[in-house]
Amino acid sequence: MGKGSCYCGKVSFTYEGEPLNKAICHCTDCQKISGSAYSTNIIVSSKNFSVQGTPKKYSAKADSGRTVTTVFCGECGSPLWREGDMSEADGILVVRVGCLDDKDAVTESKPLNELYTSGRAGWLGEMEGTKQLHHFF
């Protein structure tokens, strides 16, 4: 089981099972939302995902043209996860690794994939051992 929360603690979540995948994303949306060059994520099933508190949501068209919803804390603004028609597979959530409560979560979430590699900052190289994808899975 995994747990996470926003910076102020007003929104938290739990999920069952191991992540379905681990990825960093270089898309424009992730750069804007993270305030950085990429986002670090785990992909989990929405079936065994529960939320405590009331997060806010913002939906927009992603680089792919699909509608993607960003879920965040309305109090502190922490981005928590993304959901929507991001892939052919229904029922997945893209959870921001930085909001996981386990102090080892960032280390344990070493990415298997790099997404939207065409948006990767020129000063970043390929992450060794990751599959390079020009889009979402």
Q: What CATH topology corresponds to 2-132?
A: 2.170.150
Q: Give pTM, 2 decimals.
A: 0.91
Check residue 1 and give its pLDDT. Answer: 87
Per-residue exposure over 95-121, b if at least 16 CB sit within 10 Å of its own CB, e if not: bbbbbbeeeebeeebebebbbbbebbe
CA dist 106 and 41 (Å) reads 9
Strands 21-25, 12-15: pairing kind:
unpaired
Cα–Cα distance list, 135 to 9, 48, 63, 64 (Å): 32, 26, 9, 7
* Tens-digit pLDDT string for the chain (137 aa): 899 999 999 999 999 999 999 999 999 999 999 999 999 999 999 999 999 999 999 999 876 788 899 999 999 999 999 998 765 556 899 999 999 999 999 999 999 999 999 999 999 999 999 999 998 76
Q: What is the pLDDT of residue 87?
A: 53
